[in-house]
Structure 1
C-alpha cells in the first residue's frame, strides 16, 4: 500500500499551505519572510522565480517547495502568491487558484511510486492582522479540493485516483513568537468529502471507495522550538515541541466497492458523530476517541443476504512514552465496544430457532502499567529496527469484560513482567468471574453445534479450575509464580 503512504504525505504537505500561513506578519514583506521560515521549519527548500512590489501589492511568482526525507520526496509549485497591504495594519493574502505537486516514494524491490497532485481553491479569503509578536490569521474558504493520480511506474501502470474536498471552511490561527513559537488554531468545516479508485492490471480487479464527514471542527495547540526542523520529530520533541489536536464531527458515511476475480464485495457504514484527540510531547503520545451510532452493512457472493452490524458506542484511550529513559514510564490501552448487535438474518445462519440470547454484546479492555523505552520512538535508529526497543515492566488489568450470548466474563489483575530470560515471564494474580457458561453450553448441545462429549470435557475443566459462587456463576484466581509456575484456585496447571 505504498501509494496510500505517498498520498498521505502529499495531503499533509498541501495542508502546510494553509497551516504555515499562521507565520504571517502585518506587512507584505514580513508575511512572505515568515512563510519562508515556516516552510523551512517543516523541512522544505524554497525557491522563488520572481518577487515584485507594485504599490500596495507584493507578488511572488513561480514558488517551488521541495522536501526530501529518506527515500521519499514532495515537490510543489505555486504559480503566484499575492500579498496586499490593506492600509489598516493587516495583509490580505491570496494564491493561485491551482497549485501542482508530485509525491515520490521508493518501494523495496518494486519500482518507485509517484502521485501527481492538483490543489484547487476558489474564493478563499485570507487576512493577517495583529502585531509581529502576536499574529492572527483568519481564513474563509468556500471550497478547497485536492486531486491525486498515481503516475505510471517503470514496468506497470497502476491507475489510482484520490480526491478530497473541504467546503465552507472558516477559522483562525494565532501565533505568539518567542524562543518557541506558540500556535493556536480553531477551524470549522461544513463538509469533508473524499473518494478513491484504482485497478490491478494483473488480476483485473478494481476498487472504489468514498465518504464524507459533516460539521467537522478542529482545534490545535502547537509549541514549536525555533531552529528545530519538525520533520525530525524525535529532535523536535526532545527540544520541547508539543502538538495537541482535537477533532470532532457530527456524522459520517462511507462506502467501499471491490470487484475482483473472487467476486464483488460492497460495504456501507455510517456514524452519528465522534471525536479524536491527539497529543505528542517528550512526555509521551496520547490518543483518545469515541464514536456513537455506528452501523455497517456488507454484501458478498458467499452470503445470500447483507451482513448488518451496529454498535451503540465505542471508545478508545491509548498512551505510551516516546522518549528514551532507563526508568519505567507509564502506558495505558483502553478499548470498549458497547451494544454490538447483528440482524436476525446473520443469527439465523447458525441459530435458526432462536435458542441463543441475542442481547447486545459488550467488549471492554482496560490495561495500564509501566514500560521502558531503549531509544527515542521516532528516531531514525528505531525506524530501522524490526520492532521498537520496548520492555513492559508491569501490567494492571483494570477491566476485562466480554458479554454475549447469555454468558458474561469479567476480570481484573496485576502482573509484574520479568524480562531477563528468553521469553518475558509474568508474576502476579488475575481474578476472573464467569456467569451463564452452563446455560450457554446446554444451548450449544441442544442446537447440535457442539458434541456432548466435548461439552462434558468443558464442564469438567470448569469444575476443576473454577469455584461456584451461585447459580451458574464461578470465580477463579490465576496466580503466576516465579519460575513459570501457574496456579488456578491453588491447583498447579504448569
Structure 2
C-alpha cells in the first residue's frame, strides 16, 4: 500500500495533475494550497517559501518528504522553485524546473543501506490549473518526461553509472487530473503517452556478473480514481481496515518489446519478449480486491549455456483475474479466479525433441479456467493485529461456502478436456472428507480424442501398452460414450449424504 501511495503522489506532482475548462476561478495561492494538501493526503510533509508576485506566486526552496519508519526509509523531492502565474481567465499556469531530484534513503534492519538519487526531467511541460478551491482540474502536456538514476550508494560506497544505470522516458504525454478535497480527497486521472523507452543495466566489478534489460512500449494509457478518507494515513495499514479508502483504474499499452541478457561465469543467457495489447484493470476498497490483466500476441525467446536448446514460444492470448474479499464478514462474500493461456505454440525445434516424427498434432494449445464462488473471511487482511493473532493461534482465516466451475478447457496434442459444474460446502461437516467441508453438487466433464492420443503415445514409445490399458480402464469406470467418435463424458456428483457418484453409480 505504501508503494501505491508513493507512486500516486509522485503522479500528482510529476505528471502535474490536470483538467478541462471551467467557469470557476482559482488564484495562485489557492492552487499551491491545493497541491500541498494533495501531497499531504498521500503522506508527504511539504516545506517551501511563498512569495507573492504581481501576477501570481513564486514558491521556492521546495522540499517534499515521505517517511516510512518501519523500513527506516525516506523519499525526498527537492527543487528550487515553482512559478504560478494567474492567466486572467480564472486559470493558473504552473512552471516546474526542467530537472527535479528525488532522493531515496533506505536502511532496512539486517540489509544493506541504499541511497539513490533519481533525476525527474521534463521537456516542453505545460500545466494549467482551473476550477475552484476544493475541486481543481489540472491539464498538462509534455514533449518528454523522464526518470534516470543519477546517483547510487550502497553502504556508503558510490556506484558509478557504468556499473549501474536506469533510464525511463515517456514521449508526447497528455493528461488530466481532477482533485476534490472537500471531504477527504478524491483524485481522478487520465494520462496518455505516445511511447515509452526504458534501459536498465548493471556490471559487478568484483565478478563477471552483469545484466541488461531494455525495451519500449507504444500507446500507453492510464485511467484511475483514488479516494482517501479524512484522517487516512498511507504509512498505516490499519487505515485500510478502517474503511473509506478506494482505488480503481485501467492501464496498459498497445504494443511492447523487450531484450534482456544476464552474464554469469557459465556464460550469457539472453532473450526477447514481444506483446500486442496489454490491459490491466484493478479495483480495491476496504471490502475486496479485484485484479484483471489481459495480453495478446505474445512471443518469448530464451537461450543460454545451461539450456540444451533455445526456447521459442508464442501465445495468442493470456489472461489472469482474481477477486478476493479482504474484510472480515459475517456473510459469504464473492470471489473469483480465472486463467487463460490460449493459442500457445512452440517452435518445431522444441517439438522435435520428443516428437521427431510429428506424430502429434502441433495445433495451438489452450488452457482456460474460470471459477467463481463465495467465501466468508474471519479476519481483515489489512488489520495487523488480527493477522498477528491468526498467525500466533494458527486459526482458520475463513471458510469456503460455494464454488462454480464456469469453464475448464484443456486443448492440446489432438485431445480436448472440458468441464463445468458447481458445489456448495457444509462447514459443519468436517468428518466425511477428512477435515475438508463436505461438498454437495456435480460437475460435468467431456473428453474428446483421448484414445487417439493414447495410441500415438504408444507408437512414439512414450507410453507402454500396460499403462495405456490402465488408463483406458480408468476412463471406462468413470465415463460413458459421448456424442461423437472417440468422445467420452461423465457427470460426477456428491450428494447430501457425502456419497460420490459417477454417472449415477456410487463409487464412494
Structure 1 range deviating more: 144-153 or 322-331: 144-153
Q: 1:279 to 1:465 in 2, by over 3 A?
A: same
Contact 2:17 2:138 in 1 (8 A): yes
Query: Which of 437, 440, 443 is equivalent to 2:456?
Result: 443
**Matches of 1:167 and 1:324 in 2, distance apart?**
44
Contact 1:317 1:335 in 2 (8 A): yes
Contact 1:20 1:35 in 2 (8 A): no
**Matches of 1:97 and 1:442 in 2, distance apart?**
69
How much has 1:357 moved relative to structure 2? 0.6
Matched with 2:122 is 121
SS of residue in 1 equivalent to 2:112: strand
How much has 1:156 moved relative to structure 2? 11
C-alpha deviations, 1:130-185, integer Å up to 9, x for none? 23354221101111111235521379979653321111101222334532544332
C-alpha deviations, 1:31-50, integer Å up to 9, x for none? 111111111100111222x3
Matched with 1:457 is 470
Structure 1 range deviating more: 61-70 or 158-167: 158-167
Matched with 1:40 is 40
Q: Which runs of 5+ in 2 are unaligned?
A: none
Query: Which of 392, 400, 403 is equivalent to 1:395?
Result: 403
SS of residue in 1 equivalent to 2:31: helix
Query: Which of 401, 410, 418 is equivalent to 1:410?
Result: 418
Matched with 1:151 is 153
Q: 1:236 to 1:425 in 2, by over 3 A?
A: closer
Q: Which runs of 5+ in 1 are unaligned?
A: none
**Matches of 2:115 and 2:494 in 1, distance apart?**
53
Q: 1:424 to 1:151 in 2, by over 3 A?
A: farther
**Matches of 1:204 and 1:493 in 2, distance apart?**
61
1:142 and 2:143 matched: yes
Matched with 1:81 is 82
Matched with 1:178 is 182
Contact 1:197 1:208 in 2 (8 A): yes
Q: 1:443 to 1:175 in 2, by over 3 A?
A: same
**Matches of 2:5 and 2:411 in 1, distance apart?**
41
Matched with 1:16 is 12
SS of residue in 2 equivalent to 1:16: helix
How much has 1:304 moved relative to structure 2? 6.0
Query: Which of 473, 476, 490 is equivalent to 2:490?
Result: 476
How much has 1:317 moved relative to structure 2? 3.1
How much has 1:124 moved relative to structure 2? 0.8
**Matches of 1:127 and 1:278 in 2, distance apart?**
29
C-alpha deviations, 1:433-466, integer Å up to 9, x for none? 1111111111111111222222222222222222
1:256 and 2:255 matched: no
Matched with 1:60 is 59
Aligned length: 489
How much has 1:21 moved relative to structure 2? 4.2
**Matches of 1:399 and 1:143 in 2, distance apart?**
45
Matched with 1:424 is 436
**Matches of 1:113 and 1:423 in 2, distance apart?**
48
Structure 1 range deviating more: 153-162 or 341-350: 153-162
1:334 and 2:333 matched: no
Using the size of structure 1 for normalisation, the TM-score is 0.88
Using the size of structure 2 for normalisation, the TM-score is 0.86
**Matches of 1:292 and 1:419 in 2, distance apart?**
41
1:111 and 2:112 matched: yes
Query: Which of 222, 235, 243 is equivalent to 2:226?
Result: 222
Q: 1:156 to 1:150 in 2, by over 3 A?
A: closer
Structure 1 range deviating more: 386-395 or 277-286: 386-395
Matched with 2:101 is 100
Matched with 1:370 is 374
Contact 1:6 1:105 in 2 (8 A): no
Q: 1:150 to 1:482 in 2, by over 3 A?
A: farther
User: What is the 5 A alignment of 1:304-343?
Assistant: 306-343=310-347
**Matches of 1:90 and 1:486 in 2, distance apart?**
71
Structure 1 range deviating more: 265-274 or 232-241: 232-241
Structure 1 range deviating more: 262-271 or 359-368: 262-271
Contact 1:328 1:371 in 2 (8 A): yes
Q: 1:8 to 1:325 in 2, by over 3 A?
A: closer
Structure 1 range deviating more: 33-42 or 379-388: 379-388
SS of residue in 1 equivalent to 2:283: strand
SS of residue in 1 equivalent to 2:403: strand
Q: 1:481 to 1:20 in 2, by over 3 A?
A: farther
Contact 1:10 1:117 in 2 (8 A): no
Contact 1:425 1:484 in 2 (8 A): no
Q: 1:302 to 1:239 in 2, by over 3 A?
A: closer
Query: Which of 193, 200, 203 is equivalent to 1:196?
Result: 200
Contact 1:223 1:240 in 2 (8 A): yes
Structure 1 range deviating more: 36-45 or 482-491: 482-491
How much has 1:401 moved relative to structure 2? 0.7
